[in-house]
Structure 1
Amino acid sequence: MAHDERRLQVLRAIVQDFVSTNDPVGSKALAERHDLGVSPATIRNDMAVLEEQGYITQPHTSAGRVPTDKGYRLFVDRLSAVKPLSAAERRAIERFLDGALDLHDVLNRTVRLLAQLTHQVAVVQYPTLSRSAVRHLEVVQVSSSRLLLILITDTGRVEQRLVDCPLDIDLDDVADLRALLNSAFAGAKLADAGGKVPELLETAAPSLRPLVAAMSAALVETLVEPGEDRLVVGGTANLAREAMGSPGGLRALLEALEEQVVVLRLIGEVDAGGAVLVRIGEENAHEALTGASVVSVGYGSADRALGGLGIVGPTRMDYPTNMAAVRAVARYVGQILAES
């Protein structure tokens, strides 16, 4: 076996032992617990090289070694395969998500499930509106001079705006307006829909034009500048088990989760090919997350990611299991939203 391949085996054994025990790992323990096929002296030499190359380090208080961010990175990059979940685990995911009533329920169940499966903080991004299309526009008369405009996207998001009209509204006109809006916008991508609003005034029947004019600003707001993207977060209690590498680390991470913008940016950067992304420690490029890892993937259909979901936790985490859980849950969420 080549030296590099053997050292990679030693690194894998160190990562696995440190993740499961939270104790720095010594060469004697490695020789006893793993069938590496070499003497403890050779393991010590391999560990010295790994330390020199920056993959493991020695905490001041211990004779053992722990992986560095660079060591975890190599471990993740050289995973031969993300192990699939068992049939029982897949059935449990399906059952848990199947009973969901609407988009909010799907996403809330998703974070609870991911937090249970991984014992980390789970985060799911609402489907980004820029990637959504109009499924239906509903217009409801609230009073003699006020309408409620409701946008329902193909990803299950609902946005609504109240519109004051400077004239008394006729019920027949409301029905005609609803039909006009849906013929113009149904199926349109939100990214393109805003540009169609000016045309509406020209194509609307003269009797409807005052209503369309009153509605146009709300339409542009709803289609072009819809509500901000949001995150659903679950399992923050799981952090209580970890010190996140430093006393202030836990607080900093909770503050980043509260802020949402930082985590939203990370979770929202999904790979178009559907790969599970792993960012370790300082790769997260935010002070609050330098002691943490983010495992994320896009969910949606094969050709369109609607948003991202994943977990945030300490760098000392079970990467293969967590990557498998994130990937499997994303697949089911995508299926459910495609069927809804």
Structure 2
Amino acid sequence: MVNAEERRFEVLRAIVADYVQHQEPVASKAIVDRHNLGVSSATVRNDMASLEEDGYITQPHTSAGRIPTDKGYRLFVDRLSDVKPLSQAERKAIQSFLEGALDLDDVMRRSVRLLAQLTRQVAVIQYPTLTTSTVRHVELVQITPARLMLVLITDSGRVDQRIVDLGDVITDEVVARLRAMVNGALAGRKLTDAAVKVAELPEQAPADLRDAVVRVATTLVESLVEHPEERLVLGGTANLTRNAADFPHSLRQVLEALEEQVVVLKLLAATAHPGSVTVRIGEENEAEEMRTTSVVSIGYGTRATLLGGMGVVGPTRMDYPTNIAAVRAVANYVGEILGQ
């Protein structure tokens, strides 16, 4: 037999489900009619009174219906024992869509578009952070006798191309020596360590290469520095306007806050490990402008390395199980693709 505490939670679960679906305060009669709880309307009313007294639900106006509070959503999310997995067809569609990406930028754009479509929320993804990336290879391609194209490739799939003006004509043999010297010093190193090694390159260069090495090293330093304007991709902002009723006085400030990179990066800051889902509900969000929203975020990367974060932002009245499943699935595939 279900005890009183479990029964009250089942009532709360019913209120959350109905309010998310219908966007209307939920009455005891609706719970009895829609959910097979095996108790009377009077018992449900008593449970609703207890839930309201404990701060899990509230009465928005004088109607008989109740809606969940942030505290109620939190209890619901914390006790999600079974997040409905995506179907095989959905997983296959995600995989084929992301595997069609041409490069890292395309992976980021596709991921955010896909996540916004799956959840009908605002989706955000952080580019792989350079501080955790490792130099895979540095390619030097001679495009004129006195000019090189420098291509920095990281293990996270980031490709940065720069032009190096050498100021003098060099031979193919010199290009090969430069390539070997640069890769010998940088390949396999974290970008933070690589920046130090780049600074040491001119001192280690033979006299006949020193001027070319100084110019290559100067360009490399630019590639190793974070690019703040490239840190985030946002998609599906229009989804918020479809839920405007959930933000009666705050939609504009939410939209403005999402334009601030610092605010969005803070939303993803809790992602400490690949595959670890974090849900922040309402007042739990640090930024005041975001306290009418919920954020479902996750870290993505390889098994050993966290590359960045991604997630969705929407009203507190969101389908948490579906959104958690979608965020987790997309993060897994992005981690696999970048890991390859």
- TM-score category by the smaller chain? over 0.9
Q: Deviation string for 1:150-187 (max 9, x for gaps)? A: 31111111224444445444443223212210121111
Q: Residue 59 of structure 1: CA displacement?
A: 0.5
Structure 2 residue matching 1:240: 3-state secondary structure: helix
Q: How far apart are 1:260 and its partner, in Å?
A: 2.2
Give secondary structure in 2 for the equivalent of 1:60: coil
Q: Provide the C-alpha distance between the structure 1 equivalents of 2:99 and 2:263, rounded to a whole number of angstroms.
A: 31
Deviations 1:228-273 (A, max 9, x none): 2511111112112112633442222221222222112222431326
Does structure 1 retain, via aligned residues, the 8 Å contact 2:94–2:114?
Answer: yes
8 A contact 2:84–2:325 mirrored in 1: yes
The 5 A counterparts of 1:1-340 are 1-60=2-61, 62-141=63-142, 146-165=147-166, 167-223=168-224, 225-228=225-228, 230-243=231-244, 245-272=246-273, 274-339=275-340
Task: Report the CA distance shift for 1:98/1:231 in structure 2 as closer, same or farther (over 3 A).
Answer: same
Structure 2 CA distance, aligned partners of 1:142 and 1:61?
Answer: 75
Unaligned 5+ runs, structure 1: none
- Change in Cα spacing, 1:150 to 1:204, as seen in structure 2 (3 Å) is same
Distance in 2, Cα, partners of 1:318 & 1:278: 12
| CA–CA separation in structure 1 for the residues paired with 2:338 and 2:258 | 25
For 2:274 and 2:201, the matched residues in 1 are separated by 38
State the one-letter code of the partner of 1:176. R
* Shift in CA distance, 215/98, structure 1 to aligned 2, threshold 3 Å: closer
Letter aligned with residue 89 of structure 1: E
| Aligned residue pairs, count | 338
CA offset at residue 112 of structure 1?
1.5
2:295, 2:313 within 8 Å by CA — same for their partners in 1? yes
* Same amino acid, percent of matched pairs: 63
Q: Secondary structure at the match of 1:54?
A: coil
Aligned letter for 1:188?
A: R
Structure 1 stretch displaced more, 162-171 or 58-67: 162-171
1 CA distance for matches of 2:56 and 2:169? 73
Structure-2 separation of matches of 1:270 and 1:284: 14
Using the size of structure 1 for normalisation, the TM-score is 0.93
Q: Matched residues in 2 for 1:245 and 1:110: separation? A: 26
Native 8 Å contact 1:27 1:44 kept in 2: yes
Counterparts of 2:60 and 2:28, CA distance in 1: 15
**CA offsets, 1:74-93, max 9 Å, x none?**
00001112121111111121
Give the CA deviation at 1:134: 0.6
Cα distance between partner residues in 1 of 2:223 and 2:34 = 60
1:79 is matched by which residue type in structure 2?
L
Separation in 1, partners of 2:274, 2:223: 30
